[in-house]
Structure 1
Amino acid sequence: MRPPRTTSRLTTAGIATAAAALLAAALSPTASAAPAPPTRAGALRHAAAVLTSEAARLGITRAQGTAVRDVIVDPDGTQHVRYNRTYRQLPVLGGDFVLHLNRDGGYRSADRAVRGDVAVPSVTPELSAPKAADLAASALRAANPGELLRKVVAKPALVVDALHGAPKLAWRTDVAGKDSLGNPVARVLLTDARTGKQIDAWDTIETAAGDGQSLYSGTVPLETTQSGSTYQLKDATRGGTYTGDAQNKTDGCVLSICWSRAPAVVFTDADNHWGNGTNADRSSAAVDAQYGTDTTWDYYKNVHGRNGIAGDGKGSYNRVHYGSNYNNAFWDDNCFCMTYGDGDGSTFGPLVALDVAGHEMSHGVTSKTAGLTYSGESGGLNEATSDIFGTLVEFYANNASDPGDWMIGEKIVKPGFGKPALRFMDQPSKDGKSADCWNSSVGNLDVHYSSGVANHFAYLLAEGSGPKVIGGVQHNGTTCNGATLSGIGKDKLGKIWYRALTVYMTSSTNYAGARTATLSAAKDLYGAGSAEYAAVAATWSAVSVG
């Protein structure tokens, strides 16, 4: 049976009413696109309110102070605000934490370097500052046996140490000097301010060691700045980053201990064609350094949305030709700069290769985000983070003169070094010192060797196990548990590690914590039931973590 036919009559007035209703609906907030995520300023306001409302849950007392270190706002509006902490105006080692907030600014969760109270009975030391300085100077000399160190200067500062068990008042002493060649050496000594006992010590020069015509990357494009009739090797499009000549001089300034600083005389050129691809032209090394800075800047911005090393759009700078036969390159937070030695010619050439630049600048990213302590397992993760991103920068560049591979520093080593690279991420133990697999003593290794566990993880997660040729180099990803793995690719590795570093890791993160942080990152990016999440779990197991 056909249903009764209904007739609808729409008058002119009805048409006008309907049109008005449709227009109103189209203009209503519910019909428009979702509102924009909160701004950085909005995230800071939300976090400040949460610090007050959730103080008891977070262990924040009136004796403590907080200072923002980094802010990340996800596309969905979730906010992550990272803080440093003080106790009675003293910095707290291990006091850092990250607040995770919902889109509306409500509290979601927090990641803390340490849990529990960070209070100490007294902030008055029993060990004097001069005595702490003497102990640190002795420790620096002991760490450099056979060297007659000159101009040793120590600068102690009181801190609360919450990283090494129960919180205690401590002296954090930065100590620096010069070796027989005039090159810098530096360490941090952490000393119990009551007993004088050494708590920890670590190096503070974070090392990689270990159109211009570059030494290693062929002819590369450069953004420069014209000044009168000459050009400066300075890039206004990347925060004013520039490269200067250290004129083979060295710093009398390491960290906050200063008596002089090596120059960084900006390179200039008459025709805007830089270098000749050989060491005979001092600007050739400068081309490599500037190209490395440009490429690393672009990688972080285009892949991870990070605008500069500190995320604030400001550029760092480079110093090349530093020291005499200096076999090193390092990042220094205080000058916000990278420094490159020329090498001794038999073991190393100039240390300005692309993966070295990416490595050093990534130390700066780590310092502005997780702040991984440069000691123990967290120090290994700090070094591995720089190796991982230095390698990903090399792949990102897609430069035929320096194809991407999973070796570190292969361009800078000379026959006298005895190996084709500094480190090997597919099998870290090939360097004779690095760890392939986690064990309880890994944290006792030098951070360049304890990094092997995370480097191995990164390679296996991206490439999987088994032999393959990458960048013209034979690789062979082995596993510690005999598992066969299929990689998820370099891009996903980079996104997972970056989110883990910037959102979940803290200064005290160890290998177990890195597993948790990367799983949380994989869950955020791909889902808890995703193949990527399962691959992260399986790969950590393949290097004996978890």
Structure 2
Amino acid sequence: MLSSNSPTPRRRSARRRATAIGTFTAVAALLGMAVQAGTATADNPSAGTKVDTGSLSMKLSPSQRAELIRDADTSKAATADTLGLGAKEKLVVRDVIKDRDGTTHTRYERTYAGLPVLGGDMVVATDKAGKVKDVNRASKARLTGIDTGADVKPAAAEKQALGAAKAEKSTKTKASQAPRKVVWLAGAKGGAPVLAYETVVGGLQKDGTPNELHVVTDAATGKKLGQWQAVHNGTGNTMYSGQVTLGTAGSGSRYTLSDTQRGNHRTYNLNRSTSGTGTLFSGPDDVWGNGQPSNLETAGADAHYGAALTWDYYKGVHGRNGIRNDGVGASSRVHYGNNYSNAFWQNGCFCMTYGDGAGNAKRATPSRSRPSTWPPTR
């Protein structure tokens, strides 16, 4: 017999329906104004709008994606040779996206003599025959003749990193990642690569935000080469939600729409293109958009904020660490095509893509500041 406080089957069913509605609405927060001119899917990205479907990413199953990564890993030595990399350089496969026309985009990180290369990542596009079509490099500096013997001790690098964190008025500071040897390319600007230590300092930032300060120290001279805060809060001036706080990342004097607190979700600018990943939004002031459609950052701020709300919904209501519960944040792409009045989701790139609408002025970006059933009725 059920007690008076026990949920009846009808109540349990209603609760399940409410949770399902809440989940659906959280995904709808990403879609926002997507259905302005029809229903958009990966197989039908537009209703009434011509797009280059061959350059769209394929919808890959987990096994298909895993197979592509295995293939890229098997051929990475040959790829390195084709790209003219040195004998001490190795490629590390990080991700693969495949277009419908057979083009495969593989993201690599590099190592030199077994050491991570900061600023050495690249994306290599190959055709369906495996021939390299295009290479997008973070740095064109060549890695040759680097002495991997450090004169500076790791303890000195850690001391410098802790000092840098305290100068930023961080509290509860401690090295959350011990100094590791790296090859520093991110600040090379055409100059010679540098052997360095990278130290990550944890604790709290001065406003209570979690701290993840990366400090790079020259392993020969002890000079600080650079630092960046991986957990950062920027200001977004959105079109639909007003002024909001955005999760961003900083490196030197540049900031990017990279939410390190939410699975490293990133927002990219396709700049009217219909293929590829686009360009990660970056800027010098950590202020994004002005609330007007004429500012390209405004759509980026809307999409980035909508993705953050979706992550928080799944975390707070369903206890899930991201949509797939794997700690990985989906990415967002804005400014798709020309006069494209829709938006679509693709599992292949695990991303949402938004067009700019009629006259490129009615953007299909998240239109509500939160899901309408936040939290869902229980």
Q: Which has the higher contact order (CA 8 A, sep 6+)?
A: 2
- Mark the structure with the bigger radius of gyration: 1
- Structure with the bigger percentage of helix: 1
TM-score normalized with structure 2 length: 0.49
- Structure with the bigger percentage of strand: 2
